[in-house]
A and B are shown apart, each in its own frame.
Chain A
Amino acid sequence: MSETIASQPTKGFVDVRNFGLSYPTLEGPVEAVCNASIHVNPGEFVSIVGPSGCGKSTLLNAVAGFLKPSEGDVTLDGEAIDGPSADRGIVFQQYSLFPWKTVKGNVEFGLKMKHLDKSSRDRAARTLLGLAGLTAFENKYPDSLSGGMKQRVGIVRALATGPKVLLLDEPFGALDAQTRVIMQQILTNMWQRLKISVLFVTHDIDEAIFLSDRVYCMTARPGTIKAEIKIPLERPRQQSMMMSSEFLGLRRGLMSLIREESIKAMGGELNDLALDGLSIDLNGQSLADVV
């Protein structure tokens, strides 16, 4: 367990420099992401927010090693990333647990790939499952778990191999609002204990502010980094902070940044009329009569 609970974070420096990704189409190459630079310091919690289709998941997939940059460099602790590996744990929005393995079997998977022997695998998995409050479910198959529980197992599984950085791609996107809030709390608690670098992709502004040390805001396609915002809220974070004026101020700032980009992403068909709806003159008739 010594490798998963590090006292001083020194590893896990993610550096993405002048990243660009384009893919060929019949009309010529299309740029999905262009000249994006981000970094995650060791032990830091960093989020990327942006309108849908802006390439935030592309950026995360590049760090995971699923795709190669067309331009720029992606490095982890100074080494260029070449394909997926166990030093970068990942949690997807779609529950990606192996349905044919029990909860414990899923958590043990990465350790099995590391050729750990059965008893130490067993011990490590039990410790982590205990930490996430999942001991009672260790022999259940994923199909019998709720969405929130599946995602908790997913996080535990990604952490089990002791990765240098944890990548999360809208992990709570499919959960209901209440479960989401609880999962955010659980994630911050685990992050605080493990002191691991985290790169978190989301479109939920509240979630990004509540969880992060820093938030990158991306523009509409082709995605670039529009702004970088430090979140000075103190740790440990509490749910009540979401009502503080500091939080709301940050939220307002990010909101207006994103809103501009979301309108652009929707192709500009939205004008002021559609958004405000104030100046529609119905001549005293109701809308139903007009239509």
Chain B
Amino acid sequence: MAQVGVWPYLTRWYLVNRGGLRAVLIGAISLVLFLLAWHLLTIYRVVFFVRFTNVPSPAAVYESLTRAMHDTKFFMHVMLSCRRILFGFALAAIIAVPLGLVMGRFKLVHEILFPVTEILRPIPAIAWVPIAIMLWPTNEQSIVFITFLGAFFPVLVNTLHGMSLVDPVLVRASQCLGAREVSIFREVYFPASLPHIFTGLTVGMGVAWVSLIAAEMISGQFGIGYFTWEAYSLVQYADIALGMICIGILGLGSSALIRGLGRLVMPWNRT
């Protein structure tokens, strides 16, 4: 029985997932072409408006990677950056989401806080570095603070946006089913805003990484951003590219983590 079923099943699986397979295949080809271009540009030290003379080749970066894999210091840099992201981002989510929900629900809170957040919002997190150093007793705390600021505003703005889009008919429906203020908040406003909250968390995670790396480059002693900058100072060009790729992969991974969490929390949301 099973042997009869396998082939038709595989065929059906192929038909259903054709689009996804195609994307994976083209994506893989694209990555290989990118590596190839990089390889050729650096091997032949191309100078054409931009200069690839000192840019490390993929092979040099790979060599640097194998060395880093046996180096506990490299892992310490990575782990430290991850910890800063975790603290800064978690703090931002824990404060910005409830704040956005409350601001979206109560007009007075919105009217009081919105002008302040609108003025602070356009200031890049990195512009806070001097103030952060003054505010916080340790370097570590100020870096976490910068990361927190980077994530905070995207999460707040998207939560507010989600709250403003809650369908009033759903609120009315819940009231006619006997829901009171607390239940309406928990059962209607919060789940209705969740898709936007998760958009905010994804964007916030991206900005958190941007802010963290910049902060580490300026005032850090550890962290992957510091590692990258230090490599430049020490003329270890291959390590620069290694740090960059590492940052890229960490950013990608953390965004994927948020998206996965979103799918887990919102099984109804298939977009």
Chain A residues engaging chain B, CB cutoff 8 angstroms: 64-66, 83-86, 88-90, 92, 94, 96, 98-101, 109-110, 113-114, 141-143, 157-158, 161
Contacts and interface: CB of A to CB of B under 8 A. Distances in A.
B66 to A, nearest CB: 48
B183 interface: yes
Interface in B226-271: 266-270
Contact of B176 (A88, A98, A101, A114): A88
B178 A98 contact: no
B208 to A, nearest CB: 27
A100 B190 CA distance: 10
Nearest to A98: B170
B170 A96 contact: yes
A113 B177 CA distance: 7
Given A89-B176, A109-B174, 14 more contacts: A65-B175, A84-B176, A85-B175, A86-B177, A88-B176, A96-B169, A98-B188, A99-B268, A109-B179, A110-B178, A113-B174, A114-B178, A142-B268, A143-B268
A141 B270 CA distance: 11
Contacts of B194: 100
Contact of B178 (A96, A100, A161): A161
B172 interface: yes
Q: What 10 pairs between A and B have smallest CB-CB spacing?
A: A86-B178, A110-B177, A113-B178, A84-B175, A100-B191, A96-B173, A141-B268, A90-B176, A96-B169, A100-B268
Query: Main SS of chain A's interface residues?
Result: loop
B187 A109 contact: yes
Contacts of A100: 191-192, 194, 266, 268-269
A66 B187 contact: no
Query: Main SS of chain B's interface residues?
Result: helix
Name, among B174, B194, B267, B268, the residue most crowded by chain A CB atoms within 10 Å (CB to CB): B268
A247 to B, nearest CB: 33
A90 B176 CA distance: 7
A94 B169 contact: yes
B179 A158 contact: no
B117 to A, nearest CB: 27
Contacts of A64: 172, 176
A161 B177 contact: yes
A114 B177 CA distance: 9
A98 B191 contact: yes
A85 B178 contact: yes
Contacts of A88: 176
Interface residues of B, number: 23
Contacts of A66: 172
A85 B176 contact: yes
Name, among A64, A110, A157, the residue most crowded by chain B CB atoms within 10 Å (CB to CB): A110
Given A109-B187, A110-B178, A92 B268 contact: no
Contacts of A143: 268, 270
Contacts of A99: 268-269
A40 to B, nearest CB: 17
A95 to B, nearest CB: 9
Interface in B164-212: 167, 169-170, 172-180, 183, 187-188, 191-192, 194
Nearest to B170: A96
Name, among B169, B173, B269, the residue most crowded by chain A CB atoms within 10 Å (CB to CB): B173
Nearest to B172: A66
B176 A158 contact: yes
Given A109-B187, A113-B179, A90 B173 contact: yes
B169 A92 contact: yes
Contacts of B176: 64, 84-86, 88-90, 158
Nearest to A154: B173
Name, among A84, A90, A143, the residue most crowded by chain B CB atoms within 10 Å (CB to CB): A84
A161 B174 CA distance: 12
Contacts of B267: 141
Contacts of B177: 86, 89, 109-110, 113, 157-158, 161
